[in-house]
Structure 1
């Protein structure tokens, strides 16, 4: 009996050891805003909603640490993808973000910081075209403000926002922020979790 149990245990252990690992999720890096070297060996993607208070925490507390330790040193890059789940103006803020990105990638990250620093209550509708355009102007983003407002109102980049939301659904992403490191979805988004995932990704390079 004991030999049978040992044999079964050995088979189970072998299956665990030799079973193929899940392939990384294919990420559309080239279609997303990037902070840092786009050819960095470690690529981080945040799926976020500009109305999400926890996303605000990520942008204000976690992203600066990532920038200092990994992005500015060329080890990692940070990409942003929209996941609009909190209301109609989540979509409006996403449209504005895409419009800024298409004018100037670097300006996008100033927009990203500015929106989160000026984030309103998630239960109210505050991310209007007027607010977002005025915010870009106050922050002196190096873009065409009239074009920005026109692109928001015409929903010029709605198909891109829809595509990013579809990506989230296809990959069972339902909460913001959700973070991927080299295509691997993380269970958490705190700095220690990210640091561990980045170091693990570096070992695989």
Structure 2
């Protein structure tokens, strides 16, 4: 269980990645597209309608153009550090299709994206405390679903589906190592404008996390593995009116943890009471 010093280090680690604010990763897509001069405000309402004014331009998920100083960047140069963040002591069920921590009946679903800096913010600053307070005591389970597509296209770059496939491959082949892999990727997450979700780097993340078969992770990322599961996640997110991540869903209610952490904590409290 991380202490307060470690927690501060997790927060400090955010400075090494993308700039993080309190909206969500859909805002990065819209900003990169340059579809609007001003940002639409995010809300915490549980709207089940599509985002307004969704034009073909807004639905593109191209990365932000790299600056001249970015041209020498390579995924091969990413240095992987061991995360102090740990979910290793949580129970891991072996009969669920989506990565899950805890074996409680009440299950809270986190919709995120491996490349999203706002998902990273939630993972580093809020999820450890929620796991300590609700998952480890056995009151709530947490399921993670990676939203790899948005508007029919890869969400946050062509490598987003590859990253999602790699995560599912870890869960399928070595579920006991999944949450260490999860922490390793988010602590070391490169900036979202880079297409860093390469099979080789994802396999390196798996090896650093102690996953039994990093080669299987590389194969899954390089192919079309788990495509039906990725599309099922899109369908589930759409059903709940989720167009940005991170979002947390329980019993049909959706909260935005980087906008209103207290609301998300109340959601966990509600789940724990059932």
Look up the match of 1:193: 263
Return 5+ residue gaps in structure 2 as ranges: 1-45, 47-94, 149-154
Count of matched residue positions in the alignment of Structure 1 and Structure 2: 174
Q: 1:47 aligns with which of 111, 122, 129?
A: 111
- In structure 1, what is the Cα distance between the partners aligned to 2:239 and 2:250? 17
Contact 2:102–2:141 (8 Å) recurs in 1 = yes
Q: Output aligned runs, 1:57-96, within 5 Å.
A: 57-84=121-148, 85-96=155-166
* Partner secondary structure for residue 31 of structure 1: coil
Stretch of structure 1 that moved more, 145-154 or 65-74:
145-154
* Partner secondary structure for residue 122 of structure 1: coil
Deviation digits for residues 44-73 of structure 1, max 9, x if unmatched?
110000111110011111110011111100
Q: 1:31 aligns with which of 92, 97, 100?
A: 97
- In structure 2, what is the Cα distance between the partners aligned to 1:60 and 1:188? 12
2:221 aligned with 1:152, yes or no? yes
Return 5+ residue gaps in structure 1 as ranges: 1-21, 23-28
Considering only CA atoms, is the larger Rg found in Structure 1 or Structure 2? 1
Seen in structure 2, the aligned counterparts of structure 1 residues 92 and 36 have a Cα distance that, compared at 3 Å, is: same
* Partner secondary structure for residue 126 of structure 2: helix
Contact 1:65–1:191 (8 Å) recurs in 2 = no
* Partner secondary structure for residue 207 of structure 2: helix
Look up the match of 1:175: 244
* Partner secondary structure for residue 243 of structure 2: coil
- In structure 2, what is the Cα distance between the partners aligned to 1:30 and 1:135? 23
Seen in structure 2, the aligned counterparts of structure 1 residues 57 and 187 have a Cα distance that, compared at 3 Å, is: closer
Deviation digits for residues 7-50 of structure 1, max 9, x if unmatched?
xxxxxxxxxxxxxxx9xxxxxx942111112xx14311100001
- In structure 2, what is the Cα distance between the partners aligned to 1:155 and 1:121? 24
Seen in structure 2, the aligned counterparts of structure 1 residues 98 and 112 have a Cα distance that, compared at 3 Å, is: same
TM superposition shift of 1:106: 2.4
TM superposition shift of 1:181: 2.1
TM-score, normalising length: structure 2 = 0.59
The CA RMSD measured in Å over matched residues stands at 2.0
Look up the match of 1:163: 232
